[in-house]
Structure 1
Amino acid sequence: MAERIKAGVLGATGAVGQRFIEALTDHPWFEITSLAASERSAGKTYENAANWRLDSQLPDEVKGKDVVPVDPSKVDADVVFSALPSSSAKTVEPEFAEAGFAVASNASSYRMEDDVPLVVPEVNPDHLGMIEQQQDNRNWDGYIITNPNCSTIIMIVSLKPLLQFGLNNVNVATMQAVSGAGFDGVSSMSIIDNILPYIKTEEEKMENETLKLLGEFNGSEILNPDIHVSSSCHRVPVLDGHTEAIWAGMDDNPTPEDVRQAFLDFDPGLEDLPSKPENSLVVWDEPDRPQPRLDKNIGNGMAVNVGRIREGIRYIALGHNTIRGAAGASVLNAELLHKKGKL
């Protein structure tokens, strides 16, 4: 087997950090060589520093690995996956990029920067062309590439096949799992027997990130499409899996069967990426599917499920928010970077 690429995880002890470790363990292209976290965790073994909360077992290869500070001089890696909070990522990620690291970030800090690629491989792989511009602008040897917000990712994969029909308007109402807020993000007293009708900054992220993702990169800037996006975001008492009700307006007025076939035919041509599911979109014809409990883990949690396609066009989309919507998305981005010769 060819030598694997050295990979580090920043914010390795948190919810998304643990998903990164799960995704990178036994990965054919990447090898976990550094786990970095806060001063509270640095110096401990990962087993002692992290409260492992996933339903998979804590991988043996990281149990005894020492956690290092979030410092470029302490991290031994070629690519780092950032699960840092946005407040920390704002200052830390540029330090790693300046030091020559490729930074695959799940944080929101740099998603909307003019020279930072915001990428979902099935949707806009050509936006990786911004990397050289970013390095020139900022005089960095490395670079930052980001993936969008978890709810945006699930929606955007389903919107990509609809561009062929002249997509012009998107309305979405989300039902988002509590894991999207992190282990301590929503108290049980707040969410049990309840729905929270507001998630701070979530609606703005969905509306703005969607336009950047669907925009045309002309070699120097991204030109936003003439599409109106409106979102309403809600937290529901579901552990994992974001469900979204989407209304899509299109110039060509396709029928539900036209849309269903477009979903079935969707082929982004990424079969050689290890984390890409067999089908990026899984279509359900049953009237009560998809459901988070039953369907979130399809494609190892990397598939986006769609169903209830009705006149309008209205449909339901579902995806695993901390896999497809977070860590898995960053790993898929890094696989695309490697395929393009940028790692």
Structure 2
Amino acid sequence: MTKKKAVVLGATGMMGQKFVQLLANHPWLEVSAVAASDRSVGKSYAASTGGQMVRHLPDGLGELQVVEAAPRAIADPDIVFSALPTEVAGPIEEDFAKAGFPVFSNASSHRMDHDVPLLNPEVNAEHASLVEEQKRRTKWDGFIVANPNCTTAILSLSLKPLHDRFGLETVIVSTMQAISGAGYPGVASLDILENVIPFIRNEEEKVERETNKILGTAAKPATVTVSASCQRVPTIHGHIEAVFAKTRHPASPEEVAKSMSEFQSTPQKMKLPSAPPHPIIVRKEEDRPQTRLDVDEGNGMTVSVGRLRRDSALNGIKYIVLGHNLVRGGAGCSILNAELLMAQKYIQ
């Protein structure tokens, strides 16, 4: 297979660097261009990143010259990955879609648009068909596909086996979110050292809205009551979430553990390059998962579940889930989305 050329927008930021890192040596894709804000344009990629996160840039990519994040500045990419900040992402992503490019966005700008697939591929691969409706409405030659908020991506993957087998009525989630989720330079050190910050702007609303769009059908969101409380904690990578779920049908911890452990979906069946063999790993130890020990499971694409037990308040199930916020919750999910649409022939 001839590799398709990929451009990364917002390539100098923390999420953009993760895109570049994950795309290095990818069997289907290669980075042909990196784009960023005006202050980086014209510089080498290595000089623009300043070693913020990726200690060693993949061979050859550090010499790429950073270009403007505009279709006119980039020579015919096949795929566009957007790690742009939400406040600027919307119109730039639309410009690329209008110019005929498939855009895979990590920003929240278009997530809730009715005909933009909000994809977490193991959960709702069938929603990819929405790109056809989107193209009819917009008259664009390209399209936009969004991946969820990092917290939602981790949560919805863990909920999928429960929703399919037992049905979900209510989900309450309390999160402990790593500082890399705030980007670079992120949270001020004096704010986060030896501290927990019980507020992340717009995060709870995103989780509550996005979860139902992902768990529903392409035409209609699910009707699960979702309540989220989000906290920033002093870890680098990995969001831990305490989940409390009321199911429509009785579910024992043993049944839930079996459903999660055996869960596989479209990306695994299609053997997509970034798909982990086991999207969910269930830990039996009483003190797992832990960010230090488990965040990189499945190269960051697997979520780890532990402490599965009955919940008396909701008469349901409760558990802890951990996922890598920059991989499953970010660049990795977006790349898997691109692989899915390539395999489904939405990208020729």
TM-score normalised according to structure 1 size: 0.97
Deviation at 1:7, TM superposition (A): 0.3
Aligned position for 2:160? 160
Q: Is the contact made by 1:105 and 1:146 (CA closer than 8 Å) also made in structure 2?
A: yes
| Residue correspondence of structure 1 range 129-278 to structure 2 within 5 A | 129-163=129-163, 164-217=165-218, 222-271=219-268, 272-278=271-277
C-alpha separation between the residues in 2 aligned to 1:106 and 1:125?
17
Q: Is the contact made by 2:173 and 2:228 (CA closer than 8 Å) also made in structure 1?
A: yes
Q: Is the contact made by 2:18 and 2:54 (CA closer than 8 Å) also made in structure 1?
A: no
Partner of residue 314 from structure 1, selected from 293, 313, 318: 318
Aligned position for 2:300? 301
Q: Is the contact made by 1:18 and 1:52 (CA closer than 8 Å) also made in structure 2?
A: no
Query: What secondary structure sits across from 2:285 in the alignment?
Result: coil
Aligned position for 1:108? 108
Deviation at 1:269, TM superposition (A): 3.5
Q: Is the contact made by 2:135 and 2:142 (CA closer than 8 Å) also made in structure 1?
A: yes
Aligned position for 1:33? 32
Deviation at 1:226, TM superposition (A): 2.4
Q: Does 1:8 align with 2:26?
A: no
Q: Does 1:323 align with 2:327?
A: yes
C-alpha separation between the residues in 2 aligned to 1:224 and 1:55?
37
| Residue correspondence of structure 1 range 57-76 to structure 2 within 5 A | 57-76=56-75
* Contiguous gaps of at least 5 residues in structure 2: 312-316
Aligned position for 1:50? 49
Residues 123 and 273 from structure 1, CA distance in 2 versus in 1: closer, same or farther, beyond 3 angstroms?
A: same
Aligned position for 1:78? 78
The one-letter code sitting in structure 1 at the alignment partner of 2:329 is G
The one-letter code sitting in structure 1 at the alignment partner of 2:245 is A
Q: Is the contact made by 2:81 and 2:105 (CA closer than 8 Å) also made in structure 1?
A: yes
Once the two structures are superposed, residues 130-176 of structure 1 have per-residue CA deviations (whole angstroms, 9 ceiling, x without a partner) of 10111111110000000000000000000000011021110000000
Q: Percent identity?
A: 49
Query: What secondary structure sits across from 2:300 in the alignment?
Result: coil
Query: What secondary structure sits across from 1:59 in the alignment?
Result: coil
Q: Is the contact made by 2:121 and 2:266 (CA closer than 8 Å) also made in structure 1?
A: no
C-alpha separation between the residues in 1 aligned to 2:90 and 2:150?
19
Q: Is the contact made by 1:174 and 1:244 (CA closer than 8 Å) also made in structure 2?
A: yes
C-alpha separation between the residues in 2 aligned to 1:323 and 1:227?
26
Q: Is the contact made by 1:38 and 1:70 (CA closer than 8 Å) also made in structure 2?
A: yes
Partner of residue 336 from structure 2, selected from 332, 337, 340: 332
C-alpha separation between the residues in 2 aligned to 1:176 and 1:112?
23
C-alpha separation between the residues in 1 aligned to 2:266 and 2:38?
42
The number of residue pairs the alignment matches comes to 338
Deviation at 1:47, TM superposition (A): 1.2
Instruction: State the Cα RMSD in Å.
Output: 0.9
Query: What secondary structure sits across from 1:325 in the alignment?
Result: coil
Once the two structures are superposed, residues 190-215 of structure 1 have per-residue CA deviations (whole angstroms, 9 ceiling, x without a partner) of 00111100100000000000010011
Deviation at 1:281, TM superposition (A): 0.2
C-alpha separation between the residues in 1 aligned to 2:43 and 2:72?
18
* Contiguous gaps of at least 5 residues in structure 1: none
TM-score normalised according to structure 2 size: 0.96
Once the two structures are superposed, residues 11-41 of structure 1 have per-residue CA deviations (whole angstroms, 9 ceiling, x without a partner) of 0000000000011001000011110011111
Query: What secondary structure sits across from 1:84 in the alignment?
Result: coil
